[in-house]
Structures are given as C-alpha cells and as structure tokens.
Structure 1
Amino acid sequence: MSTAEHDRLADSEDSRAAWRHWGPYVSARQWGTVREDYSADGDAWAHLPFDHAHLRAYRWGEDGLAGLCDVDGFLNLGLALWNGRDDRLKERLFGLTNPQGNHGEDVKEYWWALEGTPTHSYASWLYRYPQAAFPYEELVAVNGQRGVEDEEYELADTGVLDGDRFFDVQVTHAKASPSDICVEITATNHGPDAAPLHLVPQLWFRNTWSWGLDDRRPRLWAGEQGQGYAEVLAQHRVLGRMRLTAEGGRGSSAEGIAPTLLFCDNETDAAALYGDDAVRDGASAYPKGAVDRAVVHGQADATNPERTGTKVGLWWDLGEIAPGASVTVRLRLTDADGDPAAAAGFDEVLAARAQECEEFYAAVIPAGTTEEDALIARRAFAGLQWGKQLYLYDIPRWIEGDPAGPPPPPQRHTRTSGRNTRWRHVNLAEVISMPDEWEYPWFATWDLAFHCVAIAHVDPFFAKWQLLLMCREWVMNPNGQLAAYEWNFSDVNPPVHPWAAWQVYSIDGGRDRDFLQRIVLKMLLNFPWWVNRKDSEGSNVFEGGFLGMDNVGLFDRSEALPGGQRLEQADATAWMGMFCLKMLRMSAELAREDHAWDEVSTKFLVHFLSIAEALDDFGTSHTSLWDDEDEFFHDVLVGEDGTAYRMPVRSMVGLLPLTGISIVPNWVASELPDLTDFFQGWTERRPELADALIHTNHRGYALRTLSLISRDQWRALLTPLLDEGEFLSPHGIRSLSAAHRDGVGVEVEGAHLSLRYVPGESDSGMFGGNSNWRGPVWLPVNALLLDALRIYGRGAGAGVEVEYPTGSGRTMGMEQVAHEVEERIVSLFRPGPDGRRPSTPRHHPSGPLWDAHPTFSEYFHGDDGRGLGASHQTGWTALVAHFVCAPDGIPNR
C-alpha cells in the first residue's frame, strides 16, 4: 500500500515517533477514576465526583471535549461551550456514577467519532449540545428513582433535544507537520429558533507542580492580538516554546472576531470547595474554575488581569446563531520558534489531510465493500483512534501519596484491603487503547487484545506495541499474571493474548517474527501462572472466576465459595486449551527459522492433549464437564466432601470449548522433526485420541486438526449454537441461551440458585452494576467463535455441511455458516428499511440527523439488536471493522 498516511506510518514505528507526538489522547473522563481516588474506603466515584471536576486539579491526567495533547500530556487543548442557559461551562461529558445509575455508570451525552487516521494527521469529532439548560439534576433524580427493572432515563427523554433544538459542534484536527496542528471548530444550529452560543476552547498545562515533587511551573501568556486574531504563547521545560493562534473562521459569522483571552491556573479552588481556611500559602488567586466564573457567572475579575497563567480560555461570544446557520473558529498550535510565514495555509492543510484520509481508507477497506459497510468500518476505526488515551499511573507513588499532600490513609497500604498493593511495580505513562472514552477510561488487558485485532488493519505497529506493552516488566506481574483493569489488577481475565497476537501477526502479513518471538517469550511466563494458580488439583481442569462471563451464571464466580467448595469451569479449561494451541502455532512458525522452538511446540502439544483429555473425560470431581444427556458443557461445583453439582446453564461458557481448535500445517511434517515424531509416537501409544483429537482432512490432504472436543461434540454444540430459539439471534450469537426465558435453577446444599435469559438490561447486579456487561450479543466472543468455525471448516470439517439455522432444512459448509453469522453481526450497524440502524440505542431519537451515525455499544439486545451498556464502545465493538475488512477471516497460514 502506498498512500501519504501509509508513508507516515512507515516513519512512525515507535510509540514516540514525531507523527504520534500529538493526538486525541486526552481522556473523556478523569474524575471518578481509581487513579484520582485517595480515599480510605476506595470509593473512587465519591472521592472526586463530577461536581468537583471543574474546581479540582487532577493528579494523574486531564479530561475534556475533543481533547488534544502531547504524548506526555503536558499541554492540552480542548473545547468548552456555553449556551447561555447552563449553570456551568460545558467542559467535559456528564454521566451518572455507578451508585447513581439504575444500571450502573452511564454517560448522558451524545457524540460521535467521525474520522481518524492512525498518525492523527486528520481527525474529526461531533458533539450534540442542547440549547436548553442541561438537565443535570433531573437526570440524577429520575434515574435514582428507577430500579433494575426500569430502563435508564436518558438525555433525550428529558425533552431538551425536541425539535432538533441543539447545536452540532464538529471539531477537526489536521496536521500540517508533526508539530503544526490546525484545529477547526464549527457549530451548526439545527433548531427552529435563533439560539445563543459561546465557544471557549481552552489551552492548559497538566498540573505537575503542586505535589511536592517538581515545583517548576510552565507558563502561558498573551502574545500578539489584532483584528480577528489572538495569540497565546507557552513555555515548558520539555516542550519548549509553543504558540496557539486563534481567529474567526472564514465565511462564517465569526469571521473577523478575535477571542477574549481569560487566564487562570490549573490548580484546585480550595476556597470554593472547602472554605477560605483551606487555602494554602502560595496558592493561585485565579484557580481552575476561573474561566467558568468569568463566562457563565459574569465575574469579570475572576481571571488574571496580567494575562498569564497555566490555563487559558479563548472566549468567543457569538450572540444568537440563526436557525440552520453555522459558525466557525480556528486555532493553530505550532512550535513558537517556527516561521509562521512558511507554514502551509489552513485551508490547504485541511483539504490535503481530508483527501489523504480518503485515500488511506480506500486502500485499507477491501475493494467491492459497499459504501455503507465502508462507513461502518471507518467510524469504528475513528472510534479506536479517539479511544487512544494517555494513561498515567505510578502505583508506588499513588499508594504512598505525594510530599505536598496529606498522608494517605493506612488502608491504602494493606495487602488485604488496599487496592492494587500487589502491583507496586506498575508505573505507566503510555498512550493506551481504552475500551470506552467515558465509562471505561482505563485499559483492560483482555479487552485491549480484541481492540488490537481491529487496529492491526490500519496500524499494525500500534497493535503489536499494545500487546507487548501489557507484557512489559512495568505492567506484567513478576509472577507472570497480566493486569486485569485498574479497579482490580489482580482479577482474572481470559488468556486471549496469544489468540490476538496470532491474528495481528497474520493481518500484518505474517512477516514480523521479532514481534512473534517477543510475545511468545512473554506468554511462556504467563502460562505457568495459570497452571500454578488456576488448576488447584493439578487435573488440567481450570478455575478462574468470572473470566468475562458476567451475569450468565447462577452465581458470581468471582466471589469466594463457602467452605472447601470449588468450581471446575468449562470456559477456563477451554481458554487454556486455546492458549496451548495458539502457543503451539506461534512456536511452530518460529521453528521454521530456529529449530530451538520445535521443542516448545511439542511442550504445548502435550499440555493441550492433557487438557483435551480432561475436558472430555472428567474433572477431579469425576463428574464430566460434558453432559451426554444435555449434549453441552457445564461448570461443575464440587463440595468439600467431593459431591458434585453440574450447573444446568446453557451459556457461552459451554460453547467456548469450540474455540480450542487449530490446523497443523502441511509443512510441519518436513520442517519440524521433533513435533512430527511426537505426533507419530503419541498416536501409536494413545490410539484412542486419534479420532477425538487429531483429525485427517477427508479429502486425503496431509492436514491434521487439533480440537479440544470430538466430532460428535462439535456436531452436538452446533445444534444449539445455530438455533434461533437458543443462541443464534438476528444479529449474532447470544451469550445465554434464549431457551432460559422461563428460568433455570438448581438446588445446591439446600440453597436454590437460578437465572433466566434477559435479552436486554440485566435485572441482576450480581457482578458489578453496569448493565448486563457481556450480555446477550457481545462481539469479542462472537469473533472467537467465528474464527473457530472457519478453522474447523478448513480442516476437519472441510466438506461437512450443517443445518443453518437449526431446523430450517437448509444446509451449508462451516465457512459459509461463519459468513452468514458475520453478516448478521454487521447488519447491526446497517440502516434498516426505515433508515434506523438496529444497533441504535432506544433513547436515540429517529431522523436523518441521528440515523446517519452508527453507534458502537458495549453489547446488543439479544432479540432486537439495540445497543446497550456503554454507548461509545469503539474498543471491542470495533471488531465489526475487522469483519468488514476480513470478510473471510484471517487465512490459516
């Protein structure tokens, strides 16, 4: 591929490359995160709530609207707005905390990532701003009155958007060079009446000077100002001198209007929060909320009359914007030492980068893709680019507290109650792919693995770097465990890293053996952690807790079980089988050039066969995870006395053994003698495994398929998998069988455990509070199953046809089945006959202004497909772009 953006990527194979230095790395929410929580009880939501965010300086990051910053987050540029009616400046997105929401945390705003190239040479973001006063109190109060049986009360439900009475505010970033960034902000009045608007973009330094570690302050000050033009200069010890210029946009009502510069300091307003007695000596007389007080509350003396500080608002009071009219303002952030006269023109830069963005995606998205599917993929990729956020978290410093701060509460230090105290080695200052801008503004290692599969189509370097980053010594635990997520790094997530690494390696053309070797070496450290910690009986039947399958079990599998009970898990065992197969495949690939890896392949083959035998035979309970009568895999609860209770739930837990499948390439026989000899010897010594585990292609090719489960189990599981009355929904594979609509239960030692299929929001807060989490249709496990179906269809299942859907009388091959299911998933995002996309959340109004934008929710209603949970989940849900760009899956190399 040869486009201008591909050329930039070729020069940017370093996380700190020049073209990656500036990007949309500012979080959408820093308040309410674990990093900012210095409480004794660990209640992060309450320790720094939304109402404090405009008054308190953050310790570990920043947040804002359409935020742009350098790779270290020193200097930030973001949008702020005021409609003349709100009680505060709109500087950040609003949402409910976990305790406030009737289904957990829930953002109450509407916005879309429109465009994004991997080097951030071009990016665009759209925000929908009500013209009426934002109903903060109403949203909190009404949701607080609703229970888990009720739907969430959303912004559109309040009526403030009726009649299209909102501004669409589009922010576009275009780089003239790595350090010359043009920013255009255009606001359009879609309402029927004229409405006031204030645009107040802000430039500020992250506070690094108030913590007693480094008292050197950067500085912002007013530069030249003229007709329709204003300039702010910045000085920083690392960034050097920067210049921000601002002017009204050409051809808009703002043309010729210069902004008023409002300076203050990015420091906590202690007086407003805690009273005058809390103000320390040396504190700024113009703290963080000064721009808000000046614009919204008319306090002319709130900002620094000397026109200097560490934060500045550039205030355009645009008056009344007529119906249908647009207004544009422009900013340009550059090195101050550059020659402005030599810089490319603003219009030329925007046009060139926009055209290059078109050319880039024309090269990435396969020819013949429909215009609508190309839009879906591009929006998903844009969301991934805007979801890359700077993540700062030095756990030792966070636990110990800062020299200038109060001593941390003793609870932070204890290994039993202190959060992440077993992860004192973690010290992160990296740009990381986040699952969601607002509800998940922190990395989750297994979620990130799925992001990387989609990212690899546009930015293979970043995808590989992210996977490796999670394995570096400043993230990965010395004992080999991968970090889960900041709320509890010690939680156990499924080991999908090897699967994702192989996908990324293959998408990148299968040529980066350095990456493959590095990831395999790290997984050789992670694998023993699983074996030593999550196979308590040494039986090759694994435990692990919830393992991502939240709210699809009879009880919370992450909670400690009473007495000596333990849960032998079908999914944990399946995850480990898949782990072994991907390690075997990657080490075999490496062995083609270095035969030392041949023995590593053999090691994982042996372990895989042991797991497969245990899964098929029995666990330590002597109760098989496979139910011959039900023809399904189930978890088994083992009591202290050895009594076993099979959990009679048909869920994704019992389908995951399908993913333990791999084809042994033809070249293994001639190129890997150790592995080949072992194959031969094992089948001679254990002939009973030959049919169940090692299959020969029916056409006589020298092709063998390794599978955790037998042909008969494959056929049996495909029946409910492809049954529209069970797992096959109109838009993908459900996580819980719809056969449980009337509920399912079991008696365990006098206690009755039950659950039922709920297609939408969960009616149980069993695991966390955020909706149904992995709910009815969740794209990551769908991606795993589709990959497995294709592997089976190219190997042991070649030529085999199955009924699709079950009971239809229509049969087709396995690869075609995978394609058909994939089409159902992509159809979530395509417009229906009425123009509305099935994935659109219920609370989004209908109409051209809404239906034009696909949304990427956390998961999807199992019956009608509407988006649920986090509403901007272009992390793992961006896998839809992978389906569009690889419609036949990744070739089995």
Structure 2
Amino acid sequence: MNVEQQRLIDPQWKKWGPYVSDRQWGTVREDYSEDTNTWESVSYDMARSYAYRWGEDGIAGISDNHQLLCFAFSFWNKKDPFLKERFFGLTGPRGNHGEDVKEHYYYLDSAPSHSYMKMLYKYPHNAFPYDELYRGNDARDRVEPEYELVDTGIFDDGNYFDIFIEYAKAGPHDILIKASVVNRGSRAASLSVLPTLWFRNTWSWGYDDYRPTIAADSSNAMYINHRRMGDYYLYSNGKCDMLFCENDTNQRRFQGKRGIPLVAKDGINDFIVNRKRGVLNKQKNGTRAALHYNLYVNPGETVTIQLRLSKEAHDYPFHDYDAIFWQRMGENEAFYNDLQRGVKDPDDRSIQRQAYAGMLWSKQYYYYNVEQWLHGDPKKPAPQNRSWGRNHDWPHLSNADIISMPDKWEYPWYAAWDLAFHCIPLAVLDPGFAKNQLSLLTREWYMHPNGQFPAYEWNLSDVNPPVHAWATWRVYEIDKNRNGGKGDIAFLEGVYHKLLLNFTWWVNRKDHDGNNIFQGGFLGLDNIGVFDRSAPLPGGGHIEQSDGTSWMAMYCLNLLRISLELATHNHVYADMATKFFEHFIYIARAMNLIGEKDIKLWDEEDQFYYDVLKKPDGTEMKLRVRSMVGLIPLFAVEVIDHSLFEQIPEFVQRLEWFLKHKSSYATVVKDWAEMLAGSKKHMLSLIREDRLVAMLQKVLDETEFLSDYGIRALSKHHHEKPFSIDVDGNRFSVNYLPAESDSSMFGGNSNWRGPIWFPLNYLLIESLQRYHYYYGDKLKVEFPTGSGNFLTLDQVADELSQRLLRIFRKDTSGKRPVYGDYQLLQDDPQFRDYLLFYEYFHGDNGRGVGASHQTGWTGLVAKLLHPRN
C-alpha cells in the first residue's frame, strides 16, 4: 500500500478539497425570483456583488468539507471592467445551444485525498471579449455550433498568461498554495493576482448573526477564526497588500439604498478596478479578504506566488515549502504509477491521468435544504409560488455533502444517473468515496419517502434511468477485486435494502397498464424521441417505452445478482433472488410476447425494438425511430456461474418449480431446460441469440449506428429517411443530427439525435463482454456489417472501446478528433496536450460537444484504459 492509499483510510485528509463550485449563480437554489427566471435571478454580472445563500464559486477554489471557509484566486489584466473572480459563460437563454462556459481551464492532476492538486487557467492580456461572445452567440441559430472563446482569436498571438495553480498538503489542515504565472506573449504584461479568502455567508438569513473573522496578523499573515473551525492562518511570501471587506450583498447596487455600509462583497473589486474609496474595512478585518500581488511579467518569464493556509501558527512558514511540495508530488506519482501499471503508452497515460484529475476536481460541497428553500428564511422570505412550484413535494430533502458533480460550471448539481456512472472510475481511484456516493443517494434525507431517487435540482421529481443497482454491483466488484476477493458486504447490503424501495416505486408508478411494460418519461435521453416523453402527449395517451421496460429488466438482473451474492453470506436473501428472477421473466415475456391484440415492442420486420404510442381511443402506433431506445434491451443480460447456484440450493429449488409450472413464461427468452442440465454458466437475457445477431447487424453498421468514434445515439439511417408522424393534425419528426441540437425540447445543450455518449457506449461494451462470457468464441458477428470480417463479441467490445478512445488519442497526423478543426488546440504546444472531456461527441468526426468539463460520465474513458476487472 503506497502513501496515498494509506491517506484514504484517514477521513481527515479529505477535510479540505476542491469543493467550491465553478458556478453558483444561475442555479435553482439561488433563485428567489417571483417569475422563477433562474438565469436572471442571479446573473454573472450580479455575482460579484451578491452574497450567495447556498454555496460559493471561484477559480481553482478549495474549502473545508462544510464550506465554512473558502479560498480561490482572482485576476485582473488591467483592462477588464471587473476582476476575474469566477469563470464566465452564457446562460441557457443566451447560448444558441444552451448554457456554455466561455473560458479555457484544465484540471491537470489530483491525488484522491487532494494531498496534491494542479490546474491551469489561461487568461488573456487583452480585455476579455465578454460582449463579443454575447454578440457572436446571439447571431448564431441552432443549426450552427457555439461561438467559443477560441473563435474570438484572443489567444492567437500568444498574448495570454498561463496560470498554473497547485495545492500540496503538509497535513490534513495545513495547505501549501502555489500560483505560477507564465507570460506566453512577446511583450511584458501586468497582472494583478488576488488570492482570496472568505467565509460563506451564514449570518444574513435570520438564524444566527454570528460573524467569523479574518484579520491582519502581521504584514505577511492573516488570522482566521470561526467558532466551529477554530483558528487558521494564511501566510504570504513576497510583497503584497492586504484588502478586507464583508461577504455581504451590495444593497446599494441592487436596491439603491442610501445610508447603508458600502463595505460589501464587491469592495475589493471596486477598490482595485474602479479605484473607489470607502469600500474596504480600514480596520484590516472582515469576512472576505484578499492579498493583492501586482505583477509585471516579462515574455517567457514565470513568476511564482507562495502561500500557506494552516491551522498551526508557523514562525517560518516557508522553510520547508519546496520540500513538502516535492514530496507530495512524488507520492502522487507513486500512486499513479501503481494505478497505471497496465497502461503503457505515454499519451494514454496522460489521457487517463487528466480524466481522473477532472473527476477529482469536480467534487463540490452541495447544500440544499428544500424545506428552508420552500419557506424562505426569516430575513429572506421565499416567493409565494414556491408552495406549489418546483420541488414543492420534496420538503424532506436536505443535502449538505461533498458530491461528485457532472460539471461544476455547466451542471453544478448532482444528477442521479450521472452519479452512478461517475462511481465506476472513482472506484478505481478511491473505492471508499465511490461507495459513499452510492450510499448517499439512498439515505432518508435524499431518497423520497415513496422510494424515488432525487433527479436534479431543476426538477427533483424527474426520472433518471435506474442504474444505481448496476453501479452498486460494479463498484462492489471493483473493490472486491482490489481487496483480493474480499467484498464489502455491509456496503452492498445497506444499499440493497434501499434499492428494494426504489424498485417498488418503479413498479407502482411507471407501469401504466400493470402489464410489466414501463414508461418513465425522457429517462435521461432528452430529445431522442419524437415527443417530449416527460410531458403530456399531443392528443393524450402514453408511450410504452422500450428503454423504460429494458431498464427495469436490467434492474431486476442487477438486484438478482446482488441477492445471490448476499445469499452466500445469509440464505435469507435466496428468496429475494427468486423474486427478481421471476420478475425479470415476466418483464421479458411482456416485452417480447404481448398478446395478439397489442403491438409488440419487438418489430419482427425491422428486427429492432421500438416505443409504442397508446392513444386514449385504444389505438396503437409504433414509433419507428431507430435510436438508443431500441438498443437498451441489450443491456439486460447477466451470466451466472453454476458454482454460485450450488451454494444456494433454495434458489435452485425455486427454479425447478418455475421450469415445471411456468414453462410458457421461461421459454420466451431462452430454453431454460439448460438451467439445470449441467451447464457451467447460465445466461439471463431479454434477447435470444437470433435477435442478438440481428440487432448487432444494425448496431455495427457504419451507415446506421457504428461511427469511427463509438455508437451513435440515433441511426444515421434517419439522415436520409427522417422519421415523421402526424398526431391530431400536427406533424412531428426526428432526423439524424450528429452534433448540436436543432430542437429546444429539453434545452439547447443536450442532443441524443446522433452524437456519441460515453455512458451508454460503456454499458453496451460491458454487455457484449457478458454475452461473450456465455457464448464464447463460437458466436461471431460481422464487424463492421458488410465487411466480411467476423469477430467474437469480446473482440467487438474491444473494437468499440478503441473507437471511443480514438476521440482523445492523436491520429496519424498528430490531431485529436475531440478538438475538431480548431488549429490552435490541435497544433499549439501550449494547448494540444491539455484535454477537455466533453458531454458528448460528434457522431461523424468525434468533435467534443456540449459541456466541456464533463469528466463526470465521460471520465469512463479512464476505466476503458485499465485492464478489465
């Protein structure tokens, strides 16, 4: 066990981490408007003057795990109209494809305990092009891509600063901080660097007026005191000025109030940029403070700022500074050298390392007490519409935890199914954290009393695919393999019991006709369908969903597998295993052999699964959209070794009874006589071998789903032949869109009508591996379809993995497909090897699209680079 792995055992080492959001403005939590206009309630321009209620944001920010005390960097190039205190981006309504961050920053490294962290921010010498970015995106429609910061040419001449920010912990409460400013331009340039320390505002809401203190302790030190945290000190090395204000809203700016103190959150900004007087605390204390370094950096020069934030008082805070930094960096290298033992290619190691860094930097303190939010605070009443509006039926939810975010700027709130995917690569880095995350969502202050998991803050009642059980089992397996075959049964059992409640919620709420065919709404696939599946359908009725039903079949198999594992430790769980076995069979039969009067989800002519629209008059209509919706049945597969059956005789006895008395059900999926005929492996699957081969013909067809970069969410078949349907005089259609969406059905930055998405590609790869484990080399399919080249399913899975990895790897010309036609990002040595992990990818050329820092589920690329476990 290396030093970093040892640290993961001690929770104190995670007391401090990158828990500050990249964007707190424009979130539901901070919206106190009567019209629920979240994006305008607190805007980017307001953020520097507005004290947040529920969290904090900043550049390269860190905080304690309760986010009482925060630290981040601010910058000023002497030309911008205000300090760069947080990353800029467009709101959902202003972006031509929804919200979009317009900055260049990269998470480069992090140890799992955050004992060492590194990131890079690129800040222009010239005035940041705020207005140009607004105008450029306003001028573009939905057919065009976003107008990005790199499109403005602001970096073309090299006139920018590379600002490398690093943290190294001397101990759990002793943090060394370094900012290395590099001038990449050909001329000297000035830069203000403002390391900023502040307390989250807990005193303005009417519960407790206690104000903690930051005060000058000497010319190079600040004294920090909070009654819950005790004493801390911030030490600076080098010439700087200390500036103090209060982390309070500037009421004069927003309400025009006279005669009130001007020492507000934006005091430091107004003093530096606008040269105002009377905006700082003359007493050299407050709840917000900054050190002002006024730098002059020559071309190619690097200027370094050194700080130390410590719970201990130090007479000589920098005497061991360099030694500690080198030690932590060395320990971090040792950790990753152990982790990447099977990854030989240097570029692959860099891709994986940066993916892991993005995942670890994307942790955030997430605070949302819905009951308080609904009713408002004594000093800040809530709008009247809250009593019947958004999230009003989740008053029990009270979140105040460190949670893995999809993207701390674009999605600075957890999403249930995103989080499940995050936990797979996180389990390789830090199994304890991954297990904690999965357990967290099942806790009674998260999970609804009715059994539903919270979706995300914009609508906690929305429905995400039920992948929590899959993630729980996979994390258990990864951790068990890491521990030499010893699994964490307590974790598995604890989550399992809550999953039973969630499974029951699905059965009771999402089976409209009680026939084991499920709905669920959009199920995370946004605008993949011809209709908004989460809204009332035109003309009424409901959709029998191929994906909803398949997710539930997969859910059954996940719970069956967990039940069997638990039954090897406690035979009480054998009965639960039989329950989920039988429930799976009922779903499989319903999905494949609904009565003759009903339209089946399986289409014999097309050899594909489709949704079925059931209208109020009883008529039915098959929605022949060849999409990922029809591929999700492939995910419902489990292979169980016979040796496991032998450990659980009660389960085998029930199978014997079922085969005898319910044989008409069992034969829907497979000849279950094999189950007890001495076979060494037993497969449960929605899809028989003939249908599997037929479906894979489309999946692996380059004119349909197969791209050079993975599996598309919608068949390219719909480029030439869009699907359209008339309902009550209105025409609806779906056509292939390889990248940006032209539909506003679910907002502008999501598109499932053609691009490549990592999570479902990952599930498909795992499913193919399970099919191969059962069929072995005897089953081969054509890859690509029509090529005459036949591969085993295991080989197909490997080929798909390689295509996904191709997005980030350099091609034969040295280009990375993820960066498309951006010459600067492809060729410039200061850009080309820094990676962004986008939300999804162009279905034809692999270009990154959507949120640019979504190492959340795109972080699965790191797991693809590991040997299997």
Q: Please tell me the TM-score bracket, short chain as reference.
A: over 0.9
Retained in 1: the 8 A contact 2:343–2:866? no
Q: Does 1:304 align with 2:281?
A: yes
Note the alpha carbon deviations across 1:594-637, whole angstroms, 9 max, x for none. Answer: 00000000000010000000111127971000110011000000
Give the whole-Å Cα distance in 1 for the aligned partners of 2:227 and 2:21: 23
Partner of 1:481: 452
* Shift, 1:342, TM fit: 8.7
Question: Which residue identity does 2:791 align to in structure 1?
Answer: M
Alignment of 1:763-774 (within 5 A): 763-772=742-751
Deviations, residues 41-62 of structure 1 (Å, cap 9, x unaligned)? 2211110001100001000111
**Match of 2:770?**
791
Alignment counterpart, residue 579 of structure 2, candidates 591, 597, 603: 603
Q: Is the 8 A contact 1:773 1:859 kept in 2?
A: no
| Contact 2:738 2:753 (C-alpha < 8 Å) held by counterparts | no
Higher mean C-alpha deviation, range 54-63 or range 612-621: 612-621
Residues 402 and 47 (structure 1 numbering): CA distance in 2 closer, same or farther, change over 3 Å?
same
Distance in 2 between residues matched to 1:296 and 1:832, nearest whole Å = 46
Contact 1:577 1:608 in 2 (8 A): yes
TM-score calculated relative to the size of structure 2: 0.97
- Read off the aligned partner of 2:494 and give its amino acid letter: R
- Following superposition, the deviation at residue 774 of structure 1 comes to 7.6
- How far off is 1:401 after superposition? 0.8
Offset, 1:773: 5.7
Show the counterpart of 2:143: 149
The worse-fitting range, judged by mean Cα deviation, of 21-30 and 743-752 is: 743-752
Deviations 1:378-434 (A, max 9, x none): 1111101110000011111111111112x32211111xxx11111000111100000
Q: Rate the CA distance shift 1:216–1:752 in 2: closer, same or farther, 3 A.
A: same
Equivalent residues in 2 for 1:495-506, closer than 5 Å = 495-506=466-477
Counterpart Cα distance in 1 of 2:518 and 2:471: 21
2:436 to 465, 486, 497: 465
The whole-number CA distance in structure 2 between the counterparts of 1:619 and 1:141 is: 57
Aligned mates of 1:563, 1:39 — CA distance in 2: 34
What is the CA distance between 1:678 and its match in structure 2? 2.1
Q: Is the 8 A contact 2:808 2:816 kept in 1?
A: yes
* 2:358 match: 383
* Aligned residue identity for 2:249: T
- The partner residue of 2:521 within 538, 545, 548 is 545
Residue aligning to 2:233: 243
3-state secondary structure, aligned to 1:723 = coil
Determine helix, strand or coil for the equivalent of 1:422.
Answer: coil
Aligned to 1:554: 530
Which residue number in structure 2 is paired with residue 429 of structure 1? 400
Hey, what's the Cα distance between the residues in 2 that align with 1:611 and 1:210? 54
Report the AA paired with residue 806 of structure 2. S
Q: Secondary structure at the match of 1:164?
A: coil
Q: CA deviation at 1:158?
A: 1.4
Q: Would the aligned equivalents of 1:648 and 1:746 in 2 still touch at CA under 8 Å?
A: no
Equivalent in 696, 719, 739 of residue 717 of structure 2: 739
Give the conservation status (yes or no) of the 8 Å contact 1:774–1:859.
no
Q: Distance in 1 between matches of 2:712 and 2:602?
A: 20
Segments of 5+ residues of structure 1 without an aligned counterpart are 12-16, 249-257
Deviation at 1:66, TM superposition (A): 0.2
- Tell whether 2:2 aligns with 1:3: yes
Query: Partners in 2 of 1:835 and 1:181 — Cα distance?
Result: 39
| Equivalent residue in structure 1 for 2:384, among 398, 410, 419 | 410
Instruction: Name which of 463, 479, 490 aligns with 1:514.
Output: 490
Match of 1:363 in 2: 338
Asked if the contact 1:697–1:795 (Cα under 8 Å) also holds between the matched residues in 2, the reply is no
Return the alpha-carbon distance in structure 2 between the equivalents of residues 44 and 559 of structure 1: 21
Q: Compute the RMSD of aligned alpha carbons.
A: 1.8
Relative to structure 1, the CA distance from residue 276 to residue 749 in structure 2 (aligned partners, 3 Å threshold; closer, same or farther) is closer
Cα distance change of structure 1 residues 469 and 775 upon mapping to structure 2, 3 Å threshold: farther
Corresponding position of 2:16:
22
Give the corresponding residue for 1:97: 91
Work out whether residues 698 and 798 of structure 1, in 8 Å CA contact, stay in contact via their aligned partners in 2.
Answer: no
Q: Residues 674-707 of structure 1, C-alpha deviation per residue, up to 9 Å, x if partnerless? A: 2211222222334453472356599974211000
Aligned runs of 1:283-322 on 2, under 5 Å? 284-319=261-296, 321-322=297-298
**TM superposition shift of 1:142:** 2.2
How big is each residue's C-alpha offset from its partner over 1:54-97, in whole Å with a ceiling of 9 and x where there is no partner? 00100011100000100010111100001111110000000000
Q: Deviations over 1:79-136 (max 9, x none)?
A: 0001111110000000000000110001100100000111100000100101110111
- The residue matched to 1:163 in structure 2 has which SS? coil
CA contact (8 A) 2:546 2:601 kept: yes
Is the CA contact 1:34–1:486 (under 8 Å) kept in the aligned structure 2? yes
Which residue matches 1:709?
Answer: 687
For residues 121 and 858 of structure 1, the distance between their equivalents in structure 2, rounded to whole angstroms, comes to 28
The CA distance in 1 between the partners of 2:825 and 2:108, in whole Å, is: 19
What secondary structure is seen at the aligned counterpart in 2 of 1:468? helix
Tell me, yes or no, if the aligned pair for 2:716 and 2:754 is still in contact at 8 Å.
no
Distance 1:201 1:481 in 2: 42
Match of 1:40 among 16, 30, 34: 34
Structure 2 counterpart of 1:866: 847
Q: Could you say if the C-alpha distance between residues 174 and 195 of structure 1 is closer, same or farther in structure 2, counting changes exceeding 3 Å? A: same
What is the aligned partner in structure 1 of residue 858 from structure 2? 877
Change (3 A) 1:621 1:356: farther
Which amino acid in the other structure matches residue 140 of structure 2?
R
CA distance in 1 between partners of 2:588 and 2:21 (Å): 43
Report if the CA contact (8 A) 2:526-2:750 is conserved.
Answer: no
Shift of residue 273, structure 1, vs aligned partner: 2.1
Q: Residue 534 of structure 1 aligns to which amino acid in structure 2?
A: K
1:196 aligns with 2:190: yes
1:186 is aligned to 2:180:
yes
* Counterpart position of 2:647: 671
Opposite residue 795 of structure 1, the aligned amino acid is Y
| 1:373 alignment partner in structure 2 | 348
Tell me which residue corresponds to 2:483: none
Residue 421 of structure 2 contacts residue 857 of structure 2 at CA under 8 Å; is this kept in 1?
Answer: yes
Kept in 1: contact 2:262–2:278 (CA 8 A): no
Mapped pair 1:720 → 2:701: no
Shift of the 90–303 alpha-carbon distance from structure 1 to 2, 3 Å rule, reads: same
Output the CA distance in 2 between the equivalents of 1:619 and 1:105: 46
TM-score where L is the length of structure 1: 0.94
Map 1:157-172; keep pairs closer than 5 Å.
Answer: 157-172=151-166
Which residue is 2:836 aligned to?
Answer: 855
Name the structure 2 match of 1:131: 125
Letter in 1 for 2:746: F
What is the rounded CA distance, in whole Å, between the counterparts of 2:676 and 2:634 in structure 1?
Answer: 20
Tell me: CA distance 1:474–1:619, structure 2 relative to 1, closer, same or farther (3 Å).
Answer: farther
Alpha-carbon distance, 1:748 to partner? 3.4
The amino acid across from 1:471 in the alignment is T
**Structure 1 CA distance, aligned partners of 2:670 and 2:200?**
57
Displacement of 1:364 in angstroms is 1.4
Shift of 1:355: 0.7
Identical amino acids, percent of aligned pairs: 46
SS in 2 for 1:330: strand
- The answer on whether the counterparts of 1:9 and 1:459 sit within 8 Å (CA) in structure 2 is yes
Q: SS state of the match for residue 855, structure 2? A: coil
Structure 2's unaligned 5+ residue stretches are 481-485
Deviation at 1:798, TM superposition (A): 4.9
Counterpart residue number, 2:214 = 220
Letter in 2 for 1:577: A
Q: SS of the counterpart of 1:367? A: coil
Instruction: Tell me the secondary structure at the aligned position of residue 650 of structure 2.
Output: helix
State the distance in 2 between where 1:342 and 1:752 align. Answer: 70
Distance in 2 (CA, whole Å) between partners of 1:217 and 1:105 is 35
Tell me by how many angstroms 1:797 deviates.
5.2
Deviations 1:241-292, CA, capped at 9 Å, x for gaps:
10000113xxxxxxxxx21001100001111222124x65xxx431111111
Write the deviation string for residues 758-807 of structure 1: whole angstroms up to 9, x where unpaired. Answer: 11101111122224268510000011111110000001455211111111
Count matched residues. 859
Task: Report the Cα distance in structure 2 between the residues aligned to 1:553 and 1:691, rounded to whole angstroms.
Answer: 28
* Cα distance between partner residues in 1 of 2:597 and 2:314: 75
Aligned to 1:685: 661
| Cα pair 1:645 1:748 within 8 Å, conserved | no
Q: Verify: 1:729 aligned to 2:728, yes or no.
A: no
Residue type matched to 2:221 in 1?
Answer: E
